[in-house]
Amino acid sequence: MILSERKRSYLLPSALILLLILGCAALYSASYGGESGTKINYVALQLRWIAIGACLAGLVFIINYKRLLELSYLFYAANLILLLIVMFIAQPKLGAARWVSFFGVNCQPSELMKLVIILTLARFLSSYKYKEAGAGCVAVCLILVFFPVILILKQPDLGTSLIFIPILFAMLYIWGIRLRYIVLTFISGAAAAPLLWTLLKDYQKQRLLVFINPDIDPLGAGYTIIQSKIAIGSGGFWGKGLLRGSQGQLNFLPEHHTDFIFSCIGEEWGFIGAVIVILLFFIIIWEGLNIAQRSENMEKKLLAVGISTLFVLHVVINICMCIGLMPVVGLPLPFISYGGSHIIVFLILAGILLNLKFDDS
Amino acid sequence: MRIVHIKLVILLSFILLITGLGRIQLFKGQHYKRQSRENRVRLIPIMAARGNIYDREGKLLAKSRLSFNAAVIPREAGSNSSTLTKLSAILEIPVAALREKLKQNAINPFVPAVVAEDIPKKKAILIEEKILRLKGIVIETVPLREYVYEESTAHLIGYITKLTWQEYKKLRFYGYRIVDFIGRTGLEAAFDSYLKGEDGGYQIEVDNKGRWIKILGHKAPRKGKDLHLTIDIELQNYIYNLTKERKAAVCVMNPFSGEVLAMVSTPSFNPNVIVSPSPQRSRKIKVIFNSKDSVMTNRNIQSAYPSGSVFKVVTALCALETKVVDVGQTINCPGYFKLGRSTFRCWYSKGHGEETIIDALKNSCNVFFYKAGLGAGIDSLSSYARQFGFGRPTGIELGGEAAGLVPDKEWKLKKKGERWYDGETVIFAIGQGYFLATPIQILRMISVIANGGNLVCPQIVKKIADLEACSKKPRRLNFKKENLDIVRRGLKLVVSDSGTGRRAQVEGVRVAGKTATAQTSSGLTHACFTCFFPADKPEFALVVFLEHGGAGGVEAAGVSRQIIEFIKRKYLSK
């Protein structure tokens, strides 16, 4: 509000670029010591993904978001087919089958689905008005979300599958649904939770139990939570300095270049660095919501809210997991964690957000 | 506007994030910093070697040898099970056994857990060469205890085992660690604080695989102090081989200084089975511990027996000192002694006839000592027994010593709730009844006669490292010299052609001793012979006690003769 309108428009892209740079620095540190013998240069790989993602983001920035919305049902169908392919023919990695290979390139359809579901819901909801449509329309939305959730849950990937539900509610809420429907759904969801528990895999149950008390299995499932808390906590206010984090550098912290990269940031850059990263995320998300707030167009509102909600969920869940406030679920930290599918999808989402921002229609 | 609600929720969740972050980074930062350091810095202890034990001539009895253990870093082996498979191929131990060991010994994901102990040196070197391909394997070198003479010195030296958790909790303030060994019996237990060295170690920085990144500090271990014993291992081994088929307690001591030259208890056990790791160790240890023959007991000091006739030495001196009998006085032995309605028999049913106290000792006549003991009375008898050191431990450095039992009126009233009967005095006078003594107490008793009235303290340790172990001064007993001489004359006659101990006669060495054939509640009698020699200038005192060994004059005196001959060859033929 202090900044002029013109300067404000640079806030979102600058925060994004800064975050990508910080992400590469963190990744450099996280992959620096590496496992001796199997050193992988994650920064170079990540830069490749960023390049591809930036090109695609530029593409969606240039073409109108309306073209994407028109194609969204097609995307949805294609993505569902990809998920089915994963379910039947994909090769398991780390105990879960999430990858499908195209011409030697592994891609994760569940990551792509995050983008597609937002587009699909935005298109579907924007073509109806709540006062005219009513309950039938909500039911269709639930069905649209149900298929991907079940398929991803089957992979099994609890974190990704559950993330679709709050996105749906956020978009429905903006669309104009009555609060009582949402409350009602939450209550029935809570009632169904025990039922859901029986559907969970053993390792998923274990993760949830360990979250409640990490000490029940300090060397097994609780290990990651404990090590992550030690890493972040030992960073203190100023941090141990780049490449100086003993937890990350000495590999005490597993997965520290992907889901637990925030623990490395907390350890090496301290409270001050971690807060800067969080604030950059906050700027991006806040700007996304400002787009929705200022626009009168329901399509834009829905898209901006859907994307912002997705960002918020990823950031909050990932960081809460690193500081031990949430169970371990495999959600990457946007723009920072290493991962091809995730970087590309999130950059496309950022491209859409920018497109919405500079769209004058 | 609904968008404002969403903004509010998001603002709150970001505040939550920063608060959570601040809590663990700012408020609990110090706590996590310490934990991170504990993760990173590890103390790799280097076990100090235990002190050696030498005999009086400097021969090695117990030593520490370097052994190799294969250890696995649990975090590594858990994720990479091929490590154990490869290790199993090299060591020729099944993977399941290694896994079981790993489960037992793992205490921390980064601290190496021993999976195979005392592996051959060649294999240890082989593993060290392949260490890069065998991820997470560490070869540890640890000193291992070895007892050179195995069964022969088992009771004397004892053995060591690892601390238990309860012991560790008590001893950790005294420099003990949970992986430490502690002496359990014998000298290993009694001198543990001297024998145990001071562990050293490396303070190192490690990564998650426990790999050494750099050394932060080093402290060299300090070896424990050596013990030099008064034992003559040649004599010890000779006696062991002589008695290993029997249940025997044999002890040789200098009657003046109390230095123990040999202390053998049979049947024995091999302490190396307990200290050195082997596949069937626990089964073998069970065999030792469950043995019906109490192989773990040092019969010299831990078993109290009815002493039988050797106690007549005490009775004789008591009767002389209390003037109940006189040197010239004779007492008639008709082969039995009537007291009230009871008849107490002499072992020689025809009777020894009229005899002096010297003859009575020579003949080991029961009737003479029945009468002499009854004359002196229970109070004097038990008082003299106590002066001779019976009824309480001798104070030898070994633990678990039995006190024996000297009965008296008070004891009887307290224990049995009855008054003392004269009949009990009669059998006490010949070392039967309630009276119990350990072989070492008998040896100390005979030494009093040998050294002219001093009660010595048996001693095994001569030097600790370079320092002379202080020996306890003998206690002067106020016995009249002429009375001691009378007893000595009797004991000399015991080992003569007409005495009960004639089988202990050795050409060229005058021996003075006393036989005993002690009756037991069940089974064969105990056979005992105790003596000192050369009789006129004693240098050695000996006790041979054969549990259920038969007649003292035959069995025990026979064994003694061979021992005396060995000592003669080694020490007296100069």
Which residues of chain B have a CB within 8 Å of the CB of A266?
Answer: 21, 25
B430 and B385 Cβ atoms separated by less than 8 Å: no
Complex ipTM: 0.90
More confident: A147 or A207: A147
Q: How confident is the model at residue A227 (pLDDT cuts 50, 70, 90)?
A: confident
3-state secondary structure of B137: strand
Quote the pLDDT of residue B552. 83
The model's pLDDT over B166-201, given as tens digits with 9 standing for 90+, comes to 888 888 777 777 778 899 999 999 999 899 888 877
Q: How far is A144 from chain B (nearest CA, A)?
A: 23
Q: How far is B105 from chain A (nearest CA, A)?
A: 14
In angstroms, what CA-CA distances link B150 with A35, B146, B184, B275, B289? 50, 8, 16, 11, 16
Q: Chain centroid to CA B126: how far?
A: 40
Q: How far is B208 from chain A (nearest CA, A)?
A: 5
- To the question of pTM greater than 0.95 for the whole model, the response is no
Q: What is the mean pLDDT of residues B134-155?
A: 87
Quote the pLDDT of residue B191. 93
Q: Rounded distance, CA B162 to CA B181, Å?
A: 4
Q: Rounded distance, CA B533 to CA B540, Å?
A: 6
Which among B6, B17, B213 has CB closest to A319? B17
In angstroms, what CA-CA distances link A98 with A108, A151, B501? 6, 10, 95
A49 and A346 Cβ atoms separated by less than 8 Å: no
Inter-chain residue contact A246 with B10, CB threshold 8 Å: no
Q: Of A1-5, A239-243, B36-40, B273-277, which range is least confident?
A: A1-5
Axis crossing angle, helix A65-89 with helix A298-322, rounded to the nearest 10: 40
Tokens of B79: 């994720």
Residues 6+ apart with CB under 8 A from B459: B230, B257, B258, B259, B260, B396, B397, B469, B471, B472
Quote the pLDDT of residue A35. 46
B527 and B212 Cβ atoms separated by less than 8 Å: no
Q: Rounded distance, CA B159 to CA B281, Å?
A: 14
The pLDDT of residue A233 is above 50: yes
Mean pLDDT across chain B: 88
Residue ranges of domains in chain A = 10-358
* Residue closest to B18 by CA, chosen among A337, A274, A264, A309: A274
Pinpoint the alpha helices (H) of B297-353: 312-321
Total length of chain B: 574
Using a CB–CB cut-off of 8 Å, the residues of B that contact A are 1-7, 10, 13-14, 16-18, 20-22, 24-26, 28-29, 31-33, 35-37, 39-40, 74-75, 78, 109, 205-209, 211, 213
Pinpoint the alpha helices (H) of chain A: 5-30, 42-62, 65-89, 109-126, 130-133, 135-153, 158-175, 179-199, 202-212, 221-235, 246-249, 261-294, 298-322, 340-358
* Residue closest to B196 by CA, chosen among B43, B52, B56, B59: B52
Measured over the CA atoms of residue B60, residue B66, residue B69 and residue B75, the dihedral's sign is positive
Q: How far is B100 from chain A (nearest CA, A)?
A: 17
Which residues of chain B have a CB within 8 Å of the CB of A294?
Answer: none
Inter-chain residue contact B24 with A232, CB threshold 8 Å: yes
Which residues of chain A have a CB within 8 Å of the CB of B17?
Answer: 278, 315-316, 319-320
Which among A174, A219, A274 has CB closest to B2? A174
Which residues of chain A have a CB within 8 Å of the CB of B40?
Answer: 246, 250, 252
The model's pLDDT over B105-114, given as tens digits with 9 standing for 90+, comes to 777 666 778 8
Q: Rounded distance, CA B278 to CA B284, Å?
A: 9
Q: How confident is the model at residue B15 (pLDDT cuts 50, 70, 90)?
A: very high
Q: What is the DSSP string of A254-282?
A: TTTTTTTHHHHHHHHHHHHHHHHHHHHHH
A169 and A196 Cβ atoms separated by less than 8 Å: no
B455 and B475 Cβ atoms separated by less than 8 Å: yes
Q: How confident is the model at residue A76 (pLDDT cuts 50, 70, 90)?
A: very high
Which residues of chain A have a CB within 8 Å of the CB of B41?
Answer: none
Inter-chain residue contact B25 with A235, CB threshold 8 Å: yes
Q: What is the mean pLDDT of residues B278-305?
A: 88
Strand bridging mode B53-54 / B227-229: parallel
Inter-chain residue contact A289 with B7, CB threshold 8 Å: yes
Catalogue all structural domains in chain B, each as residue range(s) with its CATH number: 43-229 (3.90.1310.10), 233-268+300-572 (3.40.710.10)
Q: What is the mean pLDDT of residues A246-275?
A: 84
Which among B14, B32, B75 has CB closest to A229? B32
Quote the pLDDT of residue A2. 58
Q: What residue of B is the nearest CA neighbor of A277?
A: B18
The pLDDT of residue A142 is above 70: yes
Quote the pLDDT of residue B38. 74
Q: Of A93-107, A233-247, A315-329, B429-443, which range is least confident?
A: A93-107
Q: How far is B74 from chain A (nearest CA, A)?
A: 10
The model's pLDDT over B476-521, given as tens digits with 9 standing for 90+, comes to 998 999 999 999 999 999 999 989 999 999 999 999 999 999 988 8
Inter-chain residue contact B21 with A278, CB threshold 8 Å: yes
The model's pLDDT over B421-457, given as tens digits with 9 standing for 90+, comes to 999 999 999 999 999 999 999 999 999 999 999 999 9
The model's pLDDT over A1-53, given as tens digits with 9 standing for 90+, comes to 556 677 777 899 999 999 999 999 998 888 775 444 345 778 888 999 999 99
More confident: B298 or B42: B298
The pLDDT of residue A150 is above 90: no
